[in-house]
A and B are shown apart, each in its own frame.
Chain A
Amino acid sequence: MQEGSAAVQVSADPFAVASFIGYLAIVIGIGIASARFSSGGVSEFFVGGRKMHRFVVALSAVVSGRSAWLLLGVTGMAYSIGASAVWTVTGYIVVEMFLFLFYARRIRHFAEAQDCVTLPDFFAARFGDRSGVLRSVLIVIILLFMVGYVAAQFVGGGKAFAGSFGLDQQLGIVLTAVIVVAYTTLGGFLAVSLSDMLQACIMIAALVVVPTLAILDFGGLGPVLDQLRMLDPTTIDPFALSVGAAIGALGIGLGSPGNPHIIVRYMSIADADQLRYSAVVGTVWNVVMGWGALFIGLAGRVYFPETAMLPNADTEQLYPLLASQHLHPVFFGIVVASIFAAIISTADSQLLVAASSVVRDLYEKILRRDDVVPQRRLVRYSRIVVVLLVIAALVFGVLAEDLVFWLVLFAWAGLGAAIGPTSILALYWRGTTRAGVVAGLVTGTLVTVAWQYTPVLEPLLYELVPAFLASLIVTIAVSRLTAPPNDVDLLFASMEAPAPGSSESRAA
């Protein structure tokens, strides 16, 4: 999802700075505490050794998918268009509920049976990709979008630092990167998942407390709705949007099954049967955060009826502004931390996915596929690659901001359209072939870009929807013309139940 900017015109309060620094200290502490476990091997570093608790998986999958787009973008959208912004959160919440319940279970079983650590591992094992073509296409797509995506998170963090604490923006970008690299390099997936738990708690608390206080301070929901009705009746009409806009908003959810930083979380759970609990916890979290963001937008509109009343007339600055006016500085510091939580919980997961496609997919599985590389060396390389990717993202973010936002514009949609339909078909349709998947991956990426750049089409519909459908159709059509793997029944059996002797079957 697209990254928002956070240039908030609020002066640094010592209490706010203190609570923010307290939050950062805990996050970095988690990285240090997880370092020993994550040094065990690439499986530990990139999927937490598939030992994650159902609660950790639920929250980590949910907050990794929600960048500052939710806190700044959705709040701003609800402020501008009112209750019809509800469809923007409904789509991805429903899709992710089904992913937890059905898709996640199959990919988790398969991942252990075939020793898959990354999403390209899954595709390579599913389609017997001995030539490395399929893996290579995925590496290119993941790196292309992820580095830009991470860079955008850093830029978002820099803007938040600048706005909240008066720091220089460039320094803020570097500081955000340093914080992320510190605990991600040390603690790998475990640190990222555990810190995601903390981020999830901070985000949900802020998204409940801020709208509740703002509404109560106005006299309750009744007066807020009366005021909104008086200002503009369409703000309380959830159907005040075009069909194209509604499909596009609901279609945001199509991105979830294609974003590898979300999918890899499903592969990390200790026991796939526990995913049904993760589904409930994840859905509750998603719903409360989503609707909290909507109510922030609606409450904000009654306090600031004109956009010109917001700093720089920017609707994305509503959330921190509203918080600064209704909360003690200590809690305002936590609200700023919630913006950072959203930014870094997304950036760290994306960084690990990008690093895994370099070390696991490119180095271990393509360049050194005939050798056995010691696990500890792979972890060392992974840490180095994380640092290198952060430097690349930083350079990208500082020097090529336009290019970064160009890539981010397509990242959620591009990954969703390329990997979403192909991974669903790979999991559920035996007739899917390697050629079909390669064609679908390329089609999804190209249609996303082409749709966005065609002036007649772009305003009609969010590019993810047509690109997802095109990729789905092309994958099916090309698969029909080619032969599926010979051992497809065996592969499907390993999706349906835990492999004999696996950690899951032992647990059962």
Chain B
Amino acid sequence: MTAFSVTMFALPAAIIATAVLLARALRRRQR
């Protein structure tokens, strides 16, 4: 993967995935 693909495609996908994972972790903690 080129640096372009990493920042323009993988990075935004990773940010969204992090938001989902953190939100799920918080839900477990709040239960």
Contacts and interface: CB of A to CB of B under 8 A. Distances in A.
- Tell me if B's interface is mostly helix, strand, loop or mixed: helix
B8 A238 contact: yes
A205 interface: no
Given A97-B15, A239-B3, A284-B16, A276 B26 contact: yes
Interface centre among B3, B4, B8, B19, by most chain A C-beta atoms within 10 angstroms, is B19
A83 B11 CA distance: 12
Interface string A215-245: 0000000000100000000001111000000
A276 B3 contact: no
Interface in A266-297: 273, 276-277, 279-280, 283-284, 287-288, 290-291, 294-295
Contact of B4 (A90, A225, A287): A225
Contacts of B3: 237-239
A83 B16 contact: no
B4 A279 contact: no
Chain A residues touching B, range = 20 to 34
A97 B19 contact: yes
A313 interface: no
B18 A97 contact: yes
Interface string B1-31: 0011011100110011011101100110010
B4 A236 contact: yes
A288 B20 CA distance: 15
A84 to B, nearest CB: 9
B16 A287 contact: yes
B23 A83 contact: no
B4 A237 contact: yes
Contacts of A280: 16, 19-20, 23
B16 A294 contact: no
A94 interface: yes
A94 B20 contact: no
B7 A83 contact: yes
A86 B16 contact: no
Nearest to B19: A283
Contacts of A287: 12, 15-16
A101 interface: yes
Given A93-B15, A239-B3, A273-B30, A83 B8 contact: yes
Contacts of B16: 280, 283-284, 287
A97 B14 CA distance: 12
Nearest to A229: B4
Interface of B: 3-4, 6-8, 11-12, 15-16, 18-20, 22-23, 26-27, 30
Given A86-B8, A101-B26, A287-B12, 16 more contacts: A83-B4, A83-B8, A90-B11, A97-B15, A97-B22, A225-B4, A238-B6, A238-B8, A276-B26, A277-B23, A279-B19, A280-B16, A283-B16, A283-B19, A287-B15, A290-B12
